[in-house]
């Protein structure tokens, strides 16, 4: 009988989805899979189990020897994999490690993460620090959920005549299968989604804010500007509170950074105004590939041009998506402010349904 070759599994379990990569002993990608979230704070227990079953079925790994499971695994998923496969090693990593490794940063640094939730991380002289990350029920300022909730708030204020007219009303109504005229009823559809929790659904509306901002919509631009400021302000607060070196390299992670460049520019300006002097690295890959890169780094792989070219080719479907404006900026770039005379004040909250 032919012996089956070992597989490795990289996992990134987030508030909206789980991504799993199968890759071989040479770190070449075999396949990519995804399912809904497994997190109990955003997903009902029965949906968590269904998502685990769906992912296991898609990966088709029963009976295969597994060398390493790495990344951000969920306990229930790992337990199920161990029932089906002989697993040698489980190398758990945190969101900080995945985000840093996706930018090929393996030492001290700062990670500003904003996806469904938002957390700022730092490592300095062997110690770890964080700010934010309290969850949607309490506060996830600057996160995808926060942006989506602000968009719903702006649309509701528009519909009820309490706020300015905004394109967000039309875009949200369309996503929900309704129209501007019946958005007050259509909104309740978020509570009846078969495979997505209300929190995840609200977060999934973040691209609509970017779409509206591209048309010059005032409400959308104010939401994104405020989000960039809040992510930056939390990062600066962490540096100040823990007296971290202002020269630490900074990188970003999460789906929110795909939005309108105003969010990123405000974030960078907030760092610069506080005197952070490090360099800002835009990662090449999504965090899930950071799990593979971290595994390769621990295994002693030399990150030469050939290996980087292999990563770019194999994992191109998981390249870090940013706005087209960011894609053409130098990497790394010095943290310096941009002068924009027409930019609204991100601290001005008048008429904006935002902070919680």
Average pLDDT score over residue span 155-180: 94
Q: How confident is the model at residue 349 (pLDDT cuts 50, 70, 90)?
A: very low
Domains 7-92+286-318 and 101-283+320-334 share a fold: yes
Is the pLDDT confidence value at 278 over 90?
Answer: no
Tell whether the model's pLDDT for residue 355 goes beyond 60.
no
Nearest to 40 by CA among 191, 200, 185, 268: 200
pTM of the model: 0.84
Per residue in 317-330, pLDDT (tens digit) is 999 977 656 655 66
Q: Which fold has domain 101-283+320-334?
A: Nucleotidyltransferase; domain 5 (3.30.420)
What are the sequence ranges of the domains in the chain?
7-92+286-318, 101-283+320-334
177-195 b/e with 16+ CB inside 10 Å = b? ebebeebeebbeebeeeee
pLDDT digits (tens, 9 = 90+) for 91-111: 988 999 999 999 999 999 999
CATH fold of 7-92+286-318: Nucleotidyltransferase; domain 5 (3.30.420)
- pLDDT above 80: residue 123: yes
- pLDDT tens-digit readout, 243-265: 999 999 999 999 899 889 999 99
Please give the full DSSP string across 78-141, using - where no structure is assigned. Answer: HHHHHHHS-EEEEEE--HHHHHHHHTT--SSEEEEEESSSEEEEEEETTEEEEEE---TTT--T
Percentage of the chain lying above the pLDDT 70 cut:
89
Q: How would you label 6-30 residue by residue, b for 16+ Cβ within 10 Å and e otherwise? A: ebbbbbbbbbbbbbbbbbeeebebe
pLDDT, the chain, mean:
88
Mean pLDDT calculated for residue range 147-159:
95
């Amino acid at each position: 009988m032919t012996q089956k070759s070992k597989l490795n599994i990289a996992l990134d379990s987030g508030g909206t989805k789980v991504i799993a990569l199968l890759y071989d002993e040479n770190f070449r990608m075999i396949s990519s899979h995804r399912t809904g979230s497994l997190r109990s704070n955003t997903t009902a227990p029965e949906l968590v189990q269904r998502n685990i079953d769906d992912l296991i079925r898609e990966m088709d790994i029963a009976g295969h020897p597994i060398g390493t499971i790495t990344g951000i695994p969920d306990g229930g998923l790992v337990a199920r994999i161990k029932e089906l496969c002989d697993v040698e090693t489980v190398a758990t990593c945190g969101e900080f490690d995945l985000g840093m490794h996706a930018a090929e940063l393996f030492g001290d640094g700062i990670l500003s993460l904003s996806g469904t939730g938002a957390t700022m991380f730092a490592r300095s002289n062997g110690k770890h620090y964080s700010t934010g990350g309290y969850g949607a029920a309490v506060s996830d300022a600057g996160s995808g959920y926060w942006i989506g909730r602000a968009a719903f708030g702006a649309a509701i204020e528009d519909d009820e005549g309490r706020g300015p007219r905004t394109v967000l009303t039309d875009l949200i109504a369309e996503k929900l299968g309704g129209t501007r005229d019946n958005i007050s009823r259509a909104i309740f559809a978020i509570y009846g989604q078969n495979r997505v929790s209300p929190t995840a659904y609200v977060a999934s509306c973040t691209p609509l804010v970017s779409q509206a901002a591209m048309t010059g919509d005032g409400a959308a631009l104010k939401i994104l500007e405020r989000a960039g400021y809040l992510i930056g302000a939390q990062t600066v607060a962490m540096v100040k509170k823990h007296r971290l070196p202002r020269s630490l390299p900074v990188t970003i992670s999460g789906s929110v950074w795909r939005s309108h460049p105003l969010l990123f520019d405000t974030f960078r300006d907030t760092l610069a105004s506080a005197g952070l002097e490090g360099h800002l690295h835009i990662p090449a890959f999504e965090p899930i590939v950071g799990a593979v890169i971290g595994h390769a780094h621990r295994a002693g792989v030399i990150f030469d041009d050939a290996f980087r070219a292999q990563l770019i080719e194999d994992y191109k479907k998981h390249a870090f998506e940013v706005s087209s404006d960011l894609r053409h900026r130098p990497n790394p770039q010095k943290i310096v402010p941009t002068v924009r005379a027409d930019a609204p004040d991100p601290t001005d909250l008048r008429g904006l349904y935002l902070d919680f």
